Amino acid sequence: MIVKYIDFLKNKSQLAKICGFIFAVLVVLWSIFFVDHEKSHFSLENFPGFWTLFTLFSCLVIVFFAKIYGSLGIKQEEDYYDK
């Protein structure tokens, strides 16, 4: 099932980009109009879409450090257990 979905996204990459952009715009609009900014703890929380961007940045940092950590010796050769 997931393979069919990935193939669909490969074939319709323009549609996937448009849907992703529309979703991002809707998240920012939701943040502007429906999130209570009066009780924010930090001034950055008043920025529309702050928590969305913060989450994206955090995930990218985790992936970056995981790649570095893996290249330092966690990764093993494909036939490691066959030896």
Pairwise pLDDT comparison (40 vs 2), residue with the higher score: 2
pLDDT for res 58: 96
Cα 36 from Cα 76, distance rounded (Å): 49
pLDDT for res 69: 87
Question: Where does 40-82 have alpha helices with state H?
Answer: 50-69
On whether the CB atoms of residues 7 and 1 are closer than 8 A, the answer is no
User: pTM to 2 decimals?
Assistant: 0.53
Cα 62 from Cα 73, distance rounded (Å): 17
pLDDT for res 31: 78
Q: Is residue 16 within a helix (H) or strand (E), and if so which, with residue range?
A: helix 13-34
- Per residue in 27-81, pLDDT (tens digit) is 888 877 887 777 778 888 877 778 878 898 999 999 999 988 888 877 777 777 7
On whether the CB atoms of residues 52 and 28 are closer than 8 A, the answer is yes
